[in-house]
Each structure stands twice: as structure tokens, then as C-alpha cells.
Chain A
């Protein structure tokens, strides 16, 4: 290697260094440290952490709350991801068309994303309030249905959170779809129109396949989001009633910072990382091969 190219190498590494250092410090090292901690017991005053091997994992498998929370989270993911993506796509196609007040509509759909999570959660908390909340004003006063404690009942609380999340995410994903839609040249639509393709046919054969890179990106984000939601839960339910609305990350928070069982929290975190890692691999591995990138 001659001097010039050695210098170029050094330059390159120096440019990468700040980002790499931050990543290592706040992402890679904590992940490895967490893995390490999950093989130890929690240190308590005067009692240092002891090597316990897989004991924490054994405890986790026997923990009914863990299974309940994991189940909740899967339902939550299944409820939010497809609906919010479908809704985002639908809204994007709609506001991409030539309609009056298009700019206003785009803004309106994006508003949930701009609002702070805590504020959003409080607004929805009011919507769900029994007897005088917005929802009850409709179901009880207008339809004459019996009053119902939406967030206080095990059977409805998770569905309520799912609705809030969809409302919050669909607008955000819409922006990505909208950008992708606008990158599709209008002449493709015109060529299809001359060939006699209807709107649905064109969407199915041209628009949707061309949006696949965006769909993958949005899907990865949606999966990650569905496993890292905490703020809504903190404000609206605190995981209750009876853990019916507790999701994995919220349970980790509970275990780690309320029960101070840091070893078990580390163990649960490893499960979360494994889930996210596997889905990301599956998504990129499977879908990528079938996606056309322009």
C-alpha cells in the first residue's frame, strides 16, 4: 500500500470514528453487557452478583407473567402492523390524487406523529373514560348501550391500545408511502390507461410492486415499534388490569426499575433483542430478494 492510499484509509476511519464510538458505547457494549448480566444473579446490598448460568432463563420460562406479556405483545403486533400499514397506503394513495384541500389533508394525517406521545395518551385516556368520555358519549348516550370501563377491563384494554397505536402510526407511515408514490413517474399510469388498465389493476400490477421497498422499510419500523412501546402504557394503563395490557418492554421496565431485579430484566431484554433480530433477518432475507429497487 502506498502512502496516499494509507492516508485515505486513515481519513476514512477517522470520519467513521465518532459515529462508531457512539454506537459502540451506547448500543454494542450495552447489548453485550446485558447478555453477560443475564447469566448472573441480581446484586443486592452487600450481596454481589453471582454466576448462575441459565437459572434466569429457567425462571423466565416458568414465569406466567412473561408468557402473558409475550402473548399480549404478539396480539398487539398482529393488531397494529397490518392495519396501520394498510391504512397508511390507503391514505397515501388518496392524498396523492388530485383532490381539493390535498395539502391540508396531508397535514391532518401527519398530525398524530407530530404530537408528543404523553399528550396523545392523555387525549385518548379521556376518549376512553367511562360515562363521560367521547366513546361513551357515543355508545351510551346515542346508542343506549350499557356503560363499560374500556381501559379497566381485561378483555378490551389491549384492543384500546391497539387503536391508539394505529392512529398514531398510520400517518407516519403514510408520509413514506406518499414520497414513494410521488417518485413513480405519471407516464406509467398514462401508459397503463392507454392499454385499458383500470385503477385497481394498475395498483396491483404496478403501484404496489413499485412500493415494495417502502413497504419493507415501513414493516421493519412497524415491528420494532410494536415491541418497544412504553409511553402510552405508562400514561394510560401501567400494564393493568392484571397485566392485560403489559407489553414486553413495559414488563422489562417494571422488572428492572420497580422490582430492581436487574438480572431478570437483562434476561427479558435478551428475548426482546432475539425477537427483533430474527424478524429483521427474516424480513431482509426473504423479502429483499423479491423486491425491485429502482
Chain B
């Protein structure tokens, strides 16, 4: 229940299609991440769900209700903005209960809910402060508090962690995920950071140029990318995609993830260009027939720049894509075509 579904949602800015017939569904209580590079329409999609923008065509349902034409306040959603959108002149407490005051919730209930939310987010000591007296992470928590005190079944988040430093981002990632599961909220979370998508999501909708590139679990996106774009967007370093190598065939691209490649004495010849040591592993950047190719090696890599190496991998690690459309080709169909 209380799923969100988008059907053929389109948003035009003049002639540009910012969101181009996007459809997806999120089951109740799921953590859905809208992922994509900047300008792919993910924030616009979120704003369409929130009702902050009007859609050009299509339908949005939240729960059983068609909310396509409803104003934001009647969609029963809460939202956390990238800039947090805290009211700078109001105290933390007043910021959190802002919506409750608008809806004339009785002072007693307001106080109880505030105390509960503040305790949940560790804000109890800070309630009298102004937002400018808080750190970035604390401001983030206040914005979260304002969203969850509304007790709406759906919460929308627009790149909420992009203003935090790396350490804090990791902490907040875990915290938001735990909170979402504890409260059973359906979350739509916009980000351009594939790590956030991989670590937090139940379901990832990858967007590109306003359309859905792939919709699936993090596992599916990583393990069976539907397109070359999906393959290269997710994973650091991205999947190696090569044209014109043995095993690919005419009109096909061969993809293989850096961690599936072995450096050895047999296989495809290449030249080492540089080695990045990351601690647990190293990334060896090579060139194969003029194309860049990354290999992930455990611990220190013994290879040195300029060295000739040979690269090999297991056949089940190979992803095949159509060179024209960029679409994934199943190995079975690819083989069948080869035989024919």
C-alpha cells in the first residue's frame, strides 16, 4: 500500500523535455533512489511528485489517490531540500513544528511529537538554537526532523547529503536508512552519487536525459546493467567497455568490471599507464588497443607504468552490449546469433 506510481510523466520547459515519459513504481516502505548525472531530470521528477512543478502530461498516484492536480500540501508528502530550507529566524524547535502550527495541532500534542522527534535525532539540546548556530550535519537533522514530524507516509529528499563532508555523509547515510526502516516511510531520494544509491536503496531508478535508463535493485544495476550508460555510471572505476576485441563479435561492445580482470601471462595484451594505490586494492590503468582499461588488483599491484601486461577474465564476467543502441544483449541470444 501507499505506493507511489508515475505513469508517462512528462515535463516540458519550452521545447526541452526535462522529464520524458517517466514511469516507475515504488512499493510502500521502500527506499527508492532516483539516480543520474546532473541535468538528467531527477530533481524535476522529485519536484513533480511533490507538486512544486506542474506536469505537462502523465499521472502521479500516491497511495490510492491520483494527486496529479493536487497542491503540495494535499499530497501527504514531506520533503527535505538540498539547501535544507530552514527558516533562519526561527529556532530549531519552531522550524521542526512549523507544519504542525500551520495545521493547528494542539500545543500538547505538538510538544510531545517534538520531544519524540528531537530525541530520535539527537536534537534535544539544540532546540533553542537558531539554524545559523548549527553545524551542517545538525542542520541536516533539523530538516529531517521537520520532515518526519509530519508523519506523512511518503518522504522526498533532494540530494540531502551533498553539502556535507565525506565523513559525515557516510554517517548520515546510515542514519537516514535506519530511520526510514524504523518508521516504515516510503522514501524517494534523489542523488547523483552512485555510492549513496548502492548503499541505501531498495530500488534504483537510473535516469538519463529525462528518461528511465534502468529500474531495478542495486544488485541488478551492478550485476546486469541494461545499457552501456548504466554499466559505466555505476561502479568506481566504471566498467571497461571495449569495441573490437575477441569474444565480442561484430557490432557488439564487450564490458567487463575492473575487479573481474586478472593480470597475468595470458589473454589480451595491454600497456600499463599508471597505478593508483588505494590501500585495500590498487587500480591499474592500462591501454588496450588505444582504449583505456582499468584493472582492480588486491593490495599493492606489482605492475609498473610502461610495462606490457596480459589481461584475462572468466566468460561469465562478460557483459555484451549492442554497439548501435547501447542496449544489453543476453549472452544466450548473442551466442545464438553467432551460430546463425
Chain A residues in the interface with B (C-beta under 8 A): 185, 187-188, 190-197, 201, 205-206, 209-210, 292, 294
Cβ of A58 to closest chain B Cβ, rounded Å? 49
A194 pairs with B102, CB closer than 8 A: no
Bound-complex Cα distance A191 to B83 (A): 11
Known A-B contacts A195-B150, A196-B99, A201-B102; A185 and B73 likewise in contact (beta carbons under 8 Å):
no
**Can you show 11 pairs from A to B with CB atoms below 8 A apart?**
A185-B83, A187-B85, A190-B52, A191-B87, A191-B146, A194-B78, A195-B98, A196-B73, A197-B102, A205-B87, A206-B89
Contact of B79 among A185, A191, A294 (CB under 8 A): A191
Chain B residue with Cβ nearest A196: B73
**C-alpha gap A209/B71 in the complex (Å):** 25
**Chain B contacts to A: CB under 8 angstroms:** 50-52, 71-74, 77-79, 81-83, 85, 87-90, 98-99, 102-103, 130, 132, 146, 150
Chain B residues closer than 8 Å to A194, beta-carbon distance: 50-52, 72-73, 77-79, 99
Known: A195-B99, A196-B102. A190 touches B85 (CB 8 A): yes
A213 to chain B, nearest CB (A): 10
A210 near B78: Cβ-Cβ < 8 Å? no
Would you call B83 and A187 a contact (CB within 8 A)? yes
- Checking A187, A196, A292 against B81 with a beta-carbon cut-off of 8 angstroms, the contacting residue is A187
Residues from chain B with a CB closer than 8 A to the CB of A201 are 102
| Chain A contacts for B146, CB-based, 8 A | 191, 195
For the complex formed, measure the closest distance between the CB of B102 and the CB atoms of chain A, giving whole angstroms. Answer: 5
For residue B162, give the distance in angstroms from its CB to the closest CB of chain A: 14
Instruction: Give complex CA distance A291, B6 in Å.
Output: 45
Q: Is the CB of B87 within 8 A of A206?
A: yes
List the 6 closest pairs (A to B, CB-CB), nearest first: A196-B73, A195-B99, A292-B89, A187-B85, A191-B85, A194-B72
Q: How distant is B32 from chain A, measured CB to nearest CB, in Å?
A: 18
CA distance A39 to B33 in the complex (A): 80
Give the docked Cα–Cα distance between A209 and B90 (Å). Answer: 9
Give the docked Cα–Cα distance between A201 and B100 (Å): 13
Contacts of A209 in B (CB 8 A): 89
Report if A193-B52 is in contact (Cβ < 8 Å); known contacts: A185-B83, A187-B83, A201-B102: yes
Distance in Å from the Cβ of B152 to the closest Cβ of chain A? 9
Please indicate the chain B residues that have their CB under 8 angstroms from the CB of A193 in the complex: 52, 71-73
CA distance A95 to B79 in the complex (A): 28
The residues of B that contact A196 with a CB separation of less than 8 Å are 72-74, 99, 102-103
CB-CB under 8 A from A210, the residues of chain B are 88-89
Q: Are B103 and A292 in contact (CB under 8 A)?
A: no
Cβ–Cβ < 8 Å partners of B71 in chain A: 193
Measured between alpha carbons, how far is A266 from B89 in the docked complex, in Å? 45
Q: How far apart are the CA atoms of A190 and B78 in the complex, in Å?
A: 11
Closest to B132 in A: A294
Q: What CA separation (Å) do A67 and B74 show in the bound complex?
A: 60
Give Cα distance in the complex from A209 to B94, angstroms.
14
Query: Residues of A contacting B150 with CB < 8 Å?
Result: 195
- A294 partner residues in chain B, CB cutoff 8 A: 88, 132
Smallest CB separation, B72 vs chain A (Å):
5
A188 to B81, CA, bound (A): 9
- With A190-B52, A194-B78 known as contacts, the answer to whether A185 contacts B89 (CB < 8 A) is no
